Structure 1
């Protein structure tokens, strides 16, 4: 009978180090097919190679050891695929955050001394179809997507009076949780589910346009805020966003345009 593969041979075939294989044995993740009772040498079989390769790939994706063990112990293929898919979705979300941070950092590192184009605008009061809520900052994107989908369904067939928009309370940024409102300007706003008619009060805004995806929208926020300070304008009230061109209009992020409206009033001269 063949003695099997030594731990060194198995390590070479699976690209898992001897040290790693010993740790996996101790944790019960990959147990040797046999252990010599006198020498303590570990021996593996060729049939264990695919399992070791799966473990290797999962660990390359930073799947925790406990989750790897759960995946290996699951015999149902659909359940196993679900466990792997859940981790992949977490990785993709993390990758999106990393890409957004890289994009924003590149923008910040590019020297641009040109002042932003800012327009001072008086916005009249108007009644819109809106969804309101108090939301954690980390949940804004998912809340927005659900609320806007509900809005779209509620106003279907009604005449649009302008692009959609949102208002975001200062507490959302300063405290991590705050009031959020998203809206669609339509004729005769309906009441349906969370959608209700809301009167947006008149406001004086300093407005700048952010071009492209929202990965680096904080850069435009910063430049607009600096302009407000430089021009002796004081902030008062929630920030407004108007989605002139967004994913509903064009799938190409480079074409998106978002207006950021900062409520202001002129400081009295000293």
Structure 2
């Protein structure tokens, strides 16, 4: 006897897995998988045979699960959507998921175009749009936070850490120069840095006192960043996104080599503009390398 066979069940409204699969336009194998994953449980399971039975009212949920799986939606998110039922809550969950998918695909598309340019030998053409200059930066006292983190965590952390440090700087004589982030080692999807967020302050004594009173618990420190000559290129808010910013870093590295200079320290991003107020085409950041 197969699982599709008609057997005596308490409720004649129940459908065998085969009949239900036909109505839902799915396979019995898929229904067994949904049951195992906790996405769609049978209305009744025969204790003796183990056969599964479903109600006609479960057809729409079965079809919904199948379509959500076609979107490559993670199982946990599918469970949230189907549990929300029909209505705005479920639609909002789906919308949020798909917005993230589109953002990820857009980033991957840009990365693919960037890599295509590199692999085809057109790197020099990509670098031409970045004008590189040098600037002498005096030594400055900074309060800083250092964190090991991956590339996906970086944008949120930069905004949060610089916000905390700028707030602290107001009690340390004020912000003395543009905040910056130093990359002491590579930050990528596989490498976690560390990165150091820095805000220059006007009053070193007040900064050290503030760190003693408030900052040690979250790893805030005070140090003197020495005078440096920086080779840098200025980029817009849109270019800060990955992988556009990679091309900016490489353009500066290529310029340093071409000019016969040497890198003299870890690279950095200097944020000189109000990020929230800036538009996509507004300059907001200098991508820089110390040189000698």
TM over 0.5: yes
1:181 to 184, 192, 196: 196
The partner residue of 2:289 within 251, 262, 265 is 262
Residue 221, structure 1, aligned to residue 234, structure 2:
no
Partner residue of 2:65 out of 55, 61, 64: 55
Question: 5 Å matches for 1:110-259?
Answer: 111=122, 112=125, 115=128, 116-128=130-142, 130-138=143-151, 139-156=153-170, 159-170=174-185, 172=187, 176-188=191-203, 190=207, 191-192=210-211, 193-194=214-215, 195-211=220-236, 212=238, 213-215=240-242, 216-245=244-273, 247-250=275-278, 252-259=279-286
TM-score, normalised by the number of residues in structure 2 = 0.66
Q: How many residues align?
A: 254
- Alpha-carbon separation, structure 1, partners of 2:42 and 2:192: 51
Matched residues in 2 for 1:53 and 1:168: separation?
48
Gap change, CA 1:119 and 1:73, over 3 Å in 2: closer
Alpha-carbon distance between aligned partners in 2 of 1:9 and 1:42, rounded to the nearest angstrom:
11
Query: CA–CA distance in 2 between the matches of 1:140 and 1:4?
Result: 53
Helix, strand or coil for the counterpart of 2:203? coil
> Following the alignment from structure 2 to structure 1, what is the Cα–Cα distance between the partners of residues 252 and 221?
31
| Unpaired runs of at least 5, structure 2 | 1-10
CA shift, 1:100, in A, is 2.3
Shift, 1:118, TM fit: 1.0
Q: Give TM-score, length-normalised by structure 1.
A: 0.70
> How far, CA to CA, are the matches of 1:54 and 1:237 in structure 2?
54
C-alpha distance 13-150 of structure 1, shift in aligned 2 (>3 A)? farther
The equivalent residue for 2:8 is none
Higher strand share: 1
